[in-house]
């Protein structure tokens, strides 16, 4: 009986981790840096559909950044993948990485 419970628990954990990994990948948005405004803590990104934000069409938008240090990791023209969330003050980039 203990073996069945341990096996079921291991399978549940594995499925949960796999689902979280897929969800995180689906939340990533591909784009290009168009402008950086370090003094305002904002970045302008041209990107494809952002389904995690309810945006079905490609567009160029200005985003706030959660951490201003993120703006030092990229430069205008860089291809990036990023995650963002909707906040009361607008959309905020929570993670950004140069595309591979």
6-35 pLDDT, tens per residue? 666 566 655 554 444 434 444 799 999 999
What domains can you pick out in the chain, each with its CATH number? 29-98 (2.40.50.320)
What's the rounded Cα separation, in Å, for the pair 26 and 9? 26
Quote the pTM value.
Answer: 0.72
Residue-level pLDDT at 78: 97
β-strands 79-87, 59-65 pairing? unpaired
What's the rounded Cα separation, in Å, for the pair 93 and 10? 34
SS3 content of the chain, % helix, strand, coil (to 5): 35, 40, 25
What's the rounded Cα separation, in Å, for the pair 80 and 99? 4
Chain segment 32-77, per-residue pLDDT in tens: 999 999 999 999 999 999 998 999 999 999 999 999 999 999 999 9
């Amino acid at each position: 009986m203990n073996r069945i419970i341990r096996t079921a628990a291991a399978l549940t954990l594995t499925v949960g981790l796999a689902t979280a990994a897929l969800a995180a990948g689906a939340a990533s948005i591909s784009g290009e840096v168009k402008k950086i405004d370090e003094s305002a803590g904002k970045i302008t990104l041209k990107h494809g559909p952002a389904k995690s934000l309810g945006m079905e069409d490609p567009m160029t938008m200005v985003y706030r950044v959660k951490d201003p240090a993120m703006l030092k990791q990229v430069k205008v023209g860089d291809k990036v993948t990023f995650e963002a969330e909707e906040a009361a003050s607008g959309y905020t980039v929570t993670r950004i990485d140069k595309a591979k």
